[in-house]
DNA sequence: CCAACATATGGAGGGGCACCCCGTTTGTCA
DNA sequence: TGACAAACGGGGTGCCCCTCCATATGTTGG
């Protein structure tokens, strides 16, 4: 999207050409390596594959978290776009559920993503981070679902995303991660109790 | 409990006295260290605190997982006991929910426990491990709840525990981990949709 | 009581990783 | 084109996991 974050965050001064090139190389290498080894991929290996010194990697991305946020920026952005689109649905309840499932599947099948999305009281979604983006995008969906009476009022987006992310985290790496994630999220959304069937319990 | 696992697993030959002593010291040190630093506590630090060489630690516990399983054995056993007790409740549905909440709270407040309970299709609960123990204990509760019609038939214990464990994993370390875990588990159990009130929807 | 032997120990070493310092190189722009 | 800020990356530090093997120590049969 648009521009790599270094620029979007601080439009102060453009990166020098070589710095920009290295930045992009590191990001590409990180993407590949994280896909292979998950969120705990070796930073040195990433630097090696990018053909830069480890110091350069650390200069561009002071923390592992910063690197991961950037690596997943596009995917998260895509999820946000999907949320905006679903927000126009005429079945807000179903729209929310569809989106949550999509988030779960993305998280479960994209190694490392879930770990970089830790959120909650103790992990305040850092203003511009991936967590905050999803929180914003989903908030609208949740509001609509609640207005439509499809979701309880006391439910918060942060709890929903935390739950979905927890599922992603746990299923990540499994052979059929997507299936599992969808099943667990559906379980959580529907609850464990039997639905009172229209005709009344048998 | 009863006996440290080395004996219960292979009654073949008793450990030599010094070996047994070191085994216990390592376990005690691990308990303290894992409580401080979570599941990724430094094994060398544990050995240091136990006053043994790192080789000794690795000989007694070939993998980190093996050590964690032993560290949490007692707590997991306690949860299983609680499950057995709850299995006599005259409200099987509530009994199951109570137990799941207890598991979540234990997991969220006991650093490292959740990580050592990873289970699911890809992480087959190793026969004698903590996962299998909980699965067994909870199975009875689930069966009763289902027989009482309080829980849907298609729900599996492994999914329930995976979900609960996911919550523990994500909330672990938060300031109010227990509250958060209970809230999220409750959310998952009740589902996000409004309960159809007896009087009918407004 | 004491050898002799299986059992157990731990220091040292190999390989890896994260992170940082600082002398050197390289864009950039007046 | 020259001078200067910006960026680079080799190499060092400290930590970690894990294994090898020379040494020490309980155990037990005579």
The enclosing domain of B33 has a CATH number of 1.10.10
Segments forming the whole domain that contains residue B82: 66-190
- A109: domain CATH number? 1.10.357.10
Domain termination residue (choose one: B62, B78, B96)? B62
Asked whether residue B92 carries a pLDDT value surpassing 70, the answer given is: yes
Predicted confidence at residue B5, as pLDDT, reads 42
Residue A56 lies in a domain: yes
Q: Helix (H, G, I), strand (E, B), or coil: what is residue B126?
A: coil
CA distances, B2 to each of A92, A97, B6, B24, B103 (Å): 55, 47, 12, 14, 22
pLDDT for res A121: 62
| Domain-embedded: residue B114 | yes
Is the pLDDT confidence value at A128 over 90? no
Tens digit of pLDDT for each residue in A19-38?
Answer: 999 999 999 999 999 999 99
The rounded distance, in Å, linking the Cα atoms of A96 and A144 is: 9
Is the CB of residue B167 less than 8 Å from the CB of residue B108?
yes
Mean local confidence (pLDDT), A126-154: 93
What's the pLDDT at A120? 61
Residue A195: pLDDT band (50, 70, 90) is: confident
Residues B25 and B73 in one domain: no
The whole-chain average pLDDT of chain B stands at 90
pLDDT for residue B175:
92
Residue-by-residue DSSP string for B97-117 = HHHHHHHHHHHHHSTTTGGGG
Tokens of A199: 């005709």
Does residue B132 share a domain with residue B107?
Answer: yes
Residue with minimal CA–C1' distance to D21 is: B55
For residues B45 and B109, membership in a common domain is answered with no
| Residue A28 resides in a domain | yes
Q: Does B75 touch chain A (CB under 8 A)?
A: no
The pLDDT-based confidence of B121 (bands split at 50, 70, 90) is low
Predicted confidence band at A118 (pLDDT cuts at 50, 70, 90)? confident
Answer yes or no: is A42 CB < 7 A from strand C. Answer: yes
Q: CB of A148 within 8 Å of any CB in chain B? A: no
- Which nucleotide in the DNA or RNA is closest to residue B40, CA to C1'? D16
Q: What is the pLDDT of residues A48-65, one digit of tens each?
A: 999 999 999 999 999 999
Find chain B residues with C-beta within 8 A of A189's C-beta. Answer: 191-193
pLDDT computed for residue A194 by the predictor: 87
pLDDT tens per residue, range A98-112: 999 999 999 999 999
Instruction: Write the pLDDT tens digit of every residue in B36-54.
Output: 999 999 999 999 999 999 9
């Amino acid at each position: 999207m648009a521009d790599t974050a270094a620029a979007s965050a601080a439009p102060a001064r453009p990166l020098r050409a070589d710095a920009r090139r290295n930045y992009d190389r590191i990001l590409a290498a990180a993407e590949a390596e994280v896909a292979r080894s998950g969120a705990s991929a070796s930073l040195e290996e990433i630097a090696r594959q990018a053909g830069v010194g480890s110091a350069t990697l650390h200069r561009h991305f002071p923390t592992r978290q910063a690197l991961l946020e950037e690596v997943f920026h596009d995917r998260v952005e895509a999820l946000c776009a999907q949320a905006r689109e679903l927000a126009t649905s005429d079945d807000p309840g179903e729209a929310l559920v569809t989106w949550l499932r999509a988030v779960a599947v993305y998280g479960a099948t994209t190694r490392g993503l879930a770990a970089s999305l830790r959120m909650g009281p103790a992990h305040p979604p850092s203003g511009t981070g991936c967590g905050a983006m999803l929180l914003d995008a989903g908030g609208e969906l949740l509001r609509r679902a609640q207005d439509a009476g499809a979701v309880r009022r006391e439910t918060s987006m942060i709890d929903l995303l935390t739950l979905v992310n927890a599922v992603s985290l746990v299923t990540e790496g499994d052979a059929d991660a997507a299936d599992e994630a969808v099943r667990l999220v559906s379980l959580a959304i529907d609850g464990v109790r039997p639905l009172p069937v229209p005709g009344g319990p048998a």
